A and B are shown apart, each in its own frame.
Chain A
Amino acid sequence: MPETAQKAGNAEVLTGRIAEYQELLDVLDQRLGLTVISSDPWSGTSALLAAAIDELHGTRILVDARSCADSRDLATAIADTAIAQLAPDAAAWWAQAAPPSSAAGLRLARTLRQSGIDLEDLRSKAGPETGGHHLADAIELLLALADGDALLAIDHLGLMLSSLSDHETRELLGDFRAARQRHPHLDLVLVEHPDGPSSKALEDSSHPLYHAGQLIRIRRAKPSRFIDDLVITRSWTRARVELIGAAAELAASVPALTWRIIDLAPSRGEDDQTRALVGWRHLRETTASLTAREWDLLRRVHSSAQPVVATISVGLRPHAVAANPKSVNDALARLRELGLAWQPQPRTWALADPLLAAWARDHAPPWARRRGG
């Protein structure tokens, strides 16, 4: 039987991330207003944020912006989550799965209309064509249901912003700023990758978000951190220390993949290194078709994305690609925006997904294999 981590103690979320978790808890608990979390891709920040928010007192909701194409979608997602969490008896009515005359729904609609919030506009995405109006209404709705004091965390906001124009991004961030100005008891947590538009806006004196909050940087852990943190999380998992360390190395410190390797490692074997390697190979086999598809989709990211990814995967510098340097830079910027590539250190590039990195290495074009050795 495979050796499985006990999930009850949150070992999967916290091992290797204890310091970041404590920092998040300290900052979010003191309600510092606007916090931008700039996190390396695949660093386990989403799980960490969810766990930290779960620990907090008071009204707090967590929205995943990956399902949103624009600020109207985001407004609807905020309203959906707020109602599901804070007015659950009206959730079916809100989702149009209950009769329009449902008492809970009518009660909610009447209460909010008195606050000037038109639920129909929000629910149907009708109304003024720009989303700022909806976003403001969704935040008003949240605060009305929360009795005036709430924390709104928007995970993966950077990914959503990457599909908007600069102008739309500026407007959306300006709308967040306006919401904070209007409601001092609204706390916002915005999550994005390093050098995302929100963290840049905090430093841009011409931007509405200038100096409006603080930045928390969450880096991907080094594999050794998984071992170090076992001092605290040891009792939450039965996995052997050496197995965890080897899995973290193979998974390039991606917490979710580390624990999947441990799950897939055989319960008996020669040594922990070998067991982790077997788990890693098993993981690669089971995800190979999805990873291949991820590789195919790189064509849609940028015309130079595939060669750049292949180059990085064999350990070459991205500019080794035989393409215009501007095109390579654009491809890198796009890959970074989407969380597909990142910079562990300045002037060093790596692929965020170790499975894609391994797949690309195995399928790299001949020129890249030859030059990469």
Chain B
Amino acid sequence: MDDRIGRLFPAGGPVPADLVIGRTGDIEEIVRRSREAIHTMLTGPRRIGKTTVCSAVCDQLRQDGTVVVDIEVPERTDAKDLLQLVVDRCNRISRSAATRGLLRVALPLIEQTLADQGIPLDLGQLATRPGSLPTRKILALPLALAEERDRPVVLFLDELQRAADYADGEQLLGDLVDLYSGSTKVVVLVDGSDERALDGMLDASAQFGKLVDRLILDPRISADIWRAGLTERFVQAGLELQPEALEKLIAFGEGRPYPTMTAARYAALGARKLGSATVEAFDVQMAIDEARRHLAEDNHA
């Protein structure tokens, strides 16, 4: 096992499924809903683990044989790059199936589908005028994948609220609703953090609420779960976290994943720098001070 601190105490980035602390109920709930073809939008403040939960859901579904098309919606002025990502991801899945010999076809399906519709693999070759893109045809590619693979497909769109700011965002959201609100072959899973943008998406003319059920992720994880999770994590790092130190960490984090994990990471890093096998309350206090400085800097924004 990789016991480096950054791997065992991930903060500020995605957490691999096997390292997620808590969230089991949320993950199971979304997996269940996805299996029942219920489109879901997971919302909540930033840095509470929405992407981590959705990624863990995607991992579980993949193990069941579900095809997952996962895309982080880029910050852009229009949908072109997002659509390019849809083309790339779908084509990659289709191509890898063809390469593995699962399907005996001359051209992978997505390439064939796009060629039939006169859409190049490289959307840069198309006119750049907003609204002139074949948005609906490209967003329908996961449906073609579901047909090709004869398996359910999950289309995971991370930070979808960014699309609300696209010049052609309304069209994109409307197309998603039209394509998938009646679909059981492709399940849409989205997450987003900007409440105002999300409300706009759900209420505006795109009426994204017609497509997805909104699920709110609790920003806090219970102290008992943290106790068990953190103790185990420090053991994995070869460190003994003393009870008083553990309680200090939990009290500081107040159940919130980012501050808790940031302080835990500083504590583990400090112990490793000093070559110490034990993390005492004093070490945790130093780590909390460091985490506090880090968080205070962030709050200046």
B84 at the interface (CB under 8 A from A): yes
Given contacts A26-B269, A116-B96, A178-B72, contact A127 B13 (CB under 8 A): no
Contact A212 B297 (CB under 8 A): no
CB distance from A205 to the nearest CB of B (A): 5
With A133-B88, A180-B13, A203-B297 in contact, is A174–B269 under 8 Å at CB? Answer: no
The reply on B22 being an interface residue by CB < 8 A is no
Q: Does A32 contact B (CB under 8 A)?
A: yes
Which B residues are CB-close (under 8 A) to A128? 80-81, 84, 122-124
Counting CB contacts under 8 A, is A114 at the interface?
yes
**A200: nearest residue on chain B (CB-CB)?**
B301
Residue B104 interfacial (CB < 8 Å): no
B265 at the interface (CB under 8 A from A): yes
Q: Do residues B14 and A180 form an inter-chain contact, with CB atoms below 8 A?
A: yes
Q: Does B7 contact A (CB under 8 A)?
A: yes
A204: contacting residue among B72, B74, B75, B301, CB under 8 A: B301
**Distance from B290 Cβ to chain A, minimum over Cβ atoms (Å):** 10
CB distance from A264 to the nearest CB of B (A): 39
Residues 3-17 of B at the A interface (beta carbon under 8 Å): 4-7, 10-16
Asked whether B240 is an interface residue with its Cβ less than 8 Å from the other chain, the reply is: no
Q: Does A93 have its Cβ within 8 Å of any Cβ on chain B?
A: no
- Contact flags (1/0) for B150-183 with A, using CB distance below 8 Å? 0000000011000000000000000000000000
Min distance, Cβ A209 to any Cβ of chain B, angstroms: 9
Q: How many B residues touch the partner, as a band? A: 35 or more
Q: Closest CB-CB distance, B98 to chain A, in whole Å?
A: 10
Closest Cβ of chain A: how far from B293's Cβ, in Å? 10
**B46, B75, B273, most chain A CB atoms within 10 A:** B75
- The listed residue with most A CB atoms (<10 A of its CB), out of B10, B81, B92, B99, is B81
A129 CB-CB contact with B under 8 Å: yes
* Residue-wise interface mask of A (19-46) relative to B, using a CB-CB cutoff of 8 A (1 in contact, 0 not): 0000000110111111000000000000
Interface pair B4/A184, CB less than 8 Å apart:
no
Instruction: Check B124–A31 contact: CB distance below 8 A.
Output: no
Digit string of A307-336 for contact with B (CB within 8 Å is 1, else 0)? 000000000000000000000000000000
A33 B10 Cβ-Cβ under 8 A: yes
When A30-B269, A129-B124 are in contact, do A184 and B13 touch as well, CB less than 8 Å?
A: yes
CA of A162 to CA of B15 in the docked complex: distance in angstroms?
32
* Distance in Å: Cβ of A35 to nearest Cβ of chain B: 9
Classify chain A: how many residues form its interface, as a range: 35 or more
Task: Flag whether A202 is at the interface (Cβ < 8 A).
Answer: yes
Q: Cα distance A185–B88 when bound, in Å?
A: 21
> Among residues 104 to 142 in chain A, which have CB atoms less than 8 Å away from a CB atom of chain B?
114-116, 121, 126-130, 132-133
**Interface presence of B76 (CB below 8 A):** yes
Contact with B along A157-189 (1 / 0, CB 8 A): 000000000010011001101101110110100
State whether A133 and B75 are in contact (beta carbons under 8 Å apart), knowing that A32-B5, A212-B12 are contacts in the complex.
no
Rounded to whole angstroms, the CA-CA distance of A31 and B124 in the bound complex is 36
Check B66 for interface membership: any CB of A closer than 8 A: no
B129 at the interface (CB under 8 A from A): no
Name the one of A121, A171, A204, A211 contacting B258, with C-beta atoms under 8 angstroms. Answer: A211
The digit string for B94-111, where 1 denotes a CB below 8 A from any CB of A, is 011001000000000000
A178-B74, A205-B301 are known contacts. Are A211 and B124 too (CB-CB below 8 A)?
A: no
B72 touches A181 (CB 8 A): yes
A197 at the interface (CB under 8 A from B): no
Cβ B12 vs Cβ A26 within 8 A: no
Check A211–B272 contact: CB distance below 8 A: no
Which A residues are CB-close (under 8 A) to B273? 26
Residues of A within 8 A of B14 (CB): 180-181, 184
Min CB distance, A146 to chain B, in Å? 14
Kindly provide the distance from the CB of A72 to the nearest chain B CB, expressed in whole angstroms. Answer: 11
Residues of B with C-beta under 8 A to A180: 13-14
A32-B265, A33-B6, A33-B10 known; A203-B46 Cβ under 8 A: no
Q: Is A266 an interface residue (CB 8 A)?
A: no
Inter-chain CA distance A32–B4, complex, in Å, is 8
Residues of B within 8 A of A126 (CB): 122
Q: Which residue of B lies closest to A26 (CB)?
A: B273
Contacts of A185 in B (CB 8 A): 7
Cα-based distance from A207 to B82 in the complex (angstroms)? 18
Asked if A10 is at the interface (CB within 8 A of a chain B CB), the reply is no
**Contact call A34/B12, Cβ cutoff below 8 A:** yes
Residue of A32, A129, A204 most packed against chain B (CB within 10 A): A32
Task: Given A130-B81, A181-B158, A184-B13, check contact A203 B6 (CB 8 Å).
Answer: no
Which of A114, A181, A206 has the most chain B CB atoms inside 10 A of its CB? A181
Q: Tell me which residues across on chain B come within 8 A of A130, comparing CB atoms.
A: 76, 80-81, 124
Contact between B51 and A30 (Cβ–Cβ < 8 Å)?
Answer: no
Contact between B301 and A171 (Cβ–Cβ < 8 Å)? Answer: no
Which chain A residue lies CB-closest to B76?
Answer: A171
Residues on the A chain within 8 Å of B123, using CB = 128
A-B contact list, 11 entries, CB within 8 Å: A31-B4, A33-B6, A33-B12, A115-B92, A116-B91, A128-B81, A171-B75, A182-B72, A184-B15, A203-B297, A203-B300
- Residues of A bordering B, CB below 8 Å: 26-27, 29-34, 114-116, 121, 126-130, 132-133, 167, 170-171, 174-175, 177-178, 180-182, 184-185, 187, 202-206, 208, 210-215
5 A-B pairs besides A174-B75, A178-B72 with CB distance below 8 A are A30-B4, A34-B13, A128-B80, A178-B74, A213-B13
Residues of B within 8 A of A (CB): 4-7, 10-16, 46-47, 51, 70, 72, 74-77, 80-81, 84, 88, 91-92, 95-96, 99, 122-124, 128, 158-159, 258, 265, 269, 272-273, 294, 297-298, 300-301
